[in-house]
Amino acid sequence: MSSDTILLAGVIGHPITHSKSPILHGHWLKRYGIKGHYIPMDVSSVNLPHVLNNLPKMGFRGVNITIPHKENVLDIADVISDRAALIGAANTLTFQSDGKLHADNTDGFGFIANLKQEAPGWDPKAGPALVLGAGGASRAIVAALLHEQVPEIILTNRTRARADALKAHFGGKIKVVDWTQAASHLDEATTLVNTTSLGMTGKEDLKFNLDALTPKTLVTDIVYNPLITPLLAQAQDRGCFTVDGLGMLLHQAAPGFERWFGRAPQVDAELRRAVLE
């Protein structure tokens, strides 16, 4: 690669204006003095295959994929990582030098990296994890927790059938409980994870009874707007260690940045401030 090459990457979704990815990748590009650009692109499902076929010809090294394309993109990819195949979705695409499209999922990596950075004393093997929600984010987080050897995952979702489908996919360490009964399992859990959008600004509140929550449970929420969700605020009031969801967003971006721009980026307080501004 010549020294005057301008490296290109971006993020594809529909819509895309809400994405924080251009801010965080832009921060890294500036910090490391890399000649490159990270571009948000609003692409419909109909146009997605055509766009992905043409981006490499325009000099792009890869793209992040967000809603609603994370599942569909696996039908377009040439090479799919084990974790993307296990989760059934991809968020990080790399255009390889051999012309093939490589699809990966770094959401679970980002979730675990955030917990390890913000709660270094967290021991995934210490006890069960209670996971709220059974959507796409939940699939990535359940896969990551199982990889970290959490002994059991107590899974609940407002629509039970979706939770049952995750158990069928991931197997024996998943125990599905009804949403109305899930709070009674709080005293068993050493980790509590909200993978739903409930509690996010503009969404419904997360109505979940925390009376049985004890300080032994680490509580984390993948929602980061607001940064301290009602769930995290209530958990803090009960003496729990809490981890907000912003770090998951930041850490999931790092593998793609390294692949496309050739530098392993740091996730630190400076990056958090840049994304929150």
Q: Which residues are catalytic?
A: 70
Residue type, 43: V
**What are the structure tokens assigned to 222, written together?**
């993948």
Task: Name the band, by pLDDT with cuts 50, 70 and 90, for residue 3.
Answer: low
Residue 4, pLDDT score: 77
Q: Which residues contact 48 (CB under 8 A, 6 or more apart)?
A: 12, 69, 72, 73, 76
Q: How far apart are CA 156 and CA 37, in angstroms?
A: 41
pTM comes to 0.95
Residue 196, pLDDT score: 95
Q: What is the pLDDT of residues 161-194, one digit of tens each?
A: 999 999 999 988 999 999 999 999 999 999 999 9
Taking each helix axis from N to C end, the angle separating 107-118 and 246-261, rounded to the nearest 10 degrees, works out to 120
Q: How far apart are CA 161 and CA 228, in angstroms?
A: 30
